[in-house]
Amino acid sequence: MLALGKLLELTLAGREPAEKTQLTVGGVRMRWLGEGALEVRPPEGCDNGLDLLLSAGIHGNETAPIELLDELLHGIARGDIKPRARVLFLFGNPEAIRRGERYLEQDVNRLFNGRHEMSSGSEAMRAGELERLAMTFFSVPGRNRLHYDLHTAIRGSKIEQFALYPYKEGRQHSRRELARLRAAGMEAVLLQSKTSTTFTAFTYETLDAEAFTLELGKARPFGQNQQVNLEPLETRLKQIVEGNEPEFADDKLDGLQLFSVAREIIKHSDSFHLHLPADIENFSELSRGYLLAEDLAQTRWVVEEEGARIIFPNPKVKNGLRAGILIVPASAESLG
C-alpha cells in the first residue's frame, strides 16, 4: 500500500511524508497538502465531474468517522477502490486527535464562516486553514460539489445516525440529496433554518456545495466502535467515490424522519441552568410546559411546541454559545 494511504498514521505521529505525491498502479494521484489533508485525483479520462470533500476529526475524540475515512483511503491506496471523483480527505483537528480530546481550547466547529478571524490560538488558525483548503478544492467551476463532515455525538441518541442540513437564504434543500442520505443509512435529517458557524455551513453557504454534518453514534476511543454500524454509509461513500451509485428516486424519502429547528437555547452566563438529566439522549421528547432552562434576568425557556425534542444539550459550553437545540417534526412538503 502507498505510504500516503496511511494519512491517519502520519497524522497521529505528527510526521510529514517523504513523498508528497504518489500514483497508484491504476493511475490515481494522491497528493499530501499538509497535516491531515490529502487530495485524490482519478486518472485522466476517468473524472466524472464530482468534487467530494470528506472530513472527520473536527472534534478529536470522534474516532469512528476517522477510522471510516482511514479505511476508504487504504482502499484507494491499495487499488481496491477506483475513484472517478476528485476527493479531499481532511482530519480536522490533528492535535486533539492525538490527545483523544474533543478540542484543546475552542470548539473548531464553531469557528467557521469568518468566526476564526475574531479569535486566536491554534484551533482558530486551523479553522482558517480548513476553509482555505476547502476553497481551493471547490474552486474549479462547472463541477458538482459535495461535502460530508463526519462526527459522533457526546451523548447517546434515540436516533443513532442522523444528518444536519445547513441553510442559505433563497436556496432550497435538495430532495435528491436527502434520498442519498437515506440510502447511506441516515435515519433522520435536521433541516436548519438559519446561518451557522460550522464547517458544513461554510461550504454550503460560501462555496455552494451540498453539505451535511453526519452524526454517527456516540464518541468512543479508537478501536472501540464495533457497536456503530457504518456499513451502509461506507458502501454509499465507496459508490460515490467510484461513480457507480445505484439509481434512487428523488421523491423516495420513506422512513427518513425530518425535523426543523424551533429554537436554540443560548447560554448567556455562568448562572445558566439546564433542567435536563445529565444522561439525557438526543431526540428525547419534551412535553409542552416543561421548564427547559433558566439564566440571568429571569430568562426562561419553556417548551411551547407540540412534539418538541432536544438535541445537543450541553450546559458546559462557553457563555454566548448554544447549549441545546429544540426541534420539531417537519414535512417533506416543505422542501418544495
Query: What are the grid coordinates assigned to 228, written together?
Result: 456503530
Task: Kindly state the helix (H) or strand (E) to which residue 147 belongs, with its residue range.
Answer: strand 144-153
In the chain, the amino acid numbered 160 is E
CB neighbours of residue 123 within 10 Å: 23
In whole angstroms, give the CA distance from residue 195 to residue 295: 24
In whole angstroms, give the CA distance from residue 14 to residue 73: 18
In whole angstroms, give the CA distance from residue 84 to residue 46: 5
Among 215, 234, 242, 294, the one annotated catalytic:
215
In whole angstroms, give the CA distance from residue 183 to residue 174: 14
Contact 86, 42 (CB under 8 A): yes
Helices (H), 38-88: 63-78
> Would residue 215 show up in a list of annotated catalytic residues for this protein?
yes
Q: Which residues pair with 323 in a beta bridge?
A: none
Task: Report the catalytic residues.
Answer: 215
